Amino acid sequence: MASGELIELLKKFTPIEFTEDNFVNSPPLLIIEKTNGQDLVIVARNSRTVNLLEELSYKNYMKKLREDVYSIKRLSMIDALYRFLWIARISWKNEEVYLLWALINSHLKTSDPESLKSTLLREFNVELEKCLSKLNINFVQDYNKFSELLFSRLDQQISKIPPVLLQKIVDYLCVHGELTVEELSRRIIEEGVSISTLYKVLS
């Protein structure tokens, strides 16, 4: 089930900000280090991200370490960030995920069908009717019920997200692809991953 923190991230950021080019060349949000089992260090790369992290830090989600670096101790927020970044990456190639994110983002910022339609078209150049058709979602006038439909579809996408451990191993393989299998295995095991788990993932 989508957490409030994940929904807030999908509302604050758009898939346009997290295109593949932006993500690779200048990611607005970057996880740089896992310091222990409960803390995560992240870096904000632009003013909007800094403002969001400042807002979250006031809710005791984060601790500011320096100008654009924050430490997170809230486990639900850590989980939300991993899920959010995975959704961002999937949206590059998966039109359904892209459209769902755009629709949720527009819906959470509006209060009626007309404003939803205009916001979706203005910010994402997507027509509401075509978007709903591609997502196979029927629009309902009751905004609360429509929210339930969108979040239910979001939950379906979340259920496809691999465990955080698998994401980390895959990310590690992508970043350190020049290393031999032996070197990669040694480094990943040093991060606390068991040999049996590593073999399962690689197989």
Per-residue pLDDT for 188 more than 70?
no
- Region 61-82 average pLDDT: 79
pLDDT digits (tens, 9 = 90+) for 16-69: 988 888 877 777 787 766 655 556 778 777 787 888 877 777 677 778 888 778
Q: pTM (2 decimals)?
A: 0.77
The side-by-side arrangement of strands in the sheet containing 62-66 is: 29-33, 40-44, 69-72, 62-66
Per-residue pLDDT for 5 more than 70?
yes
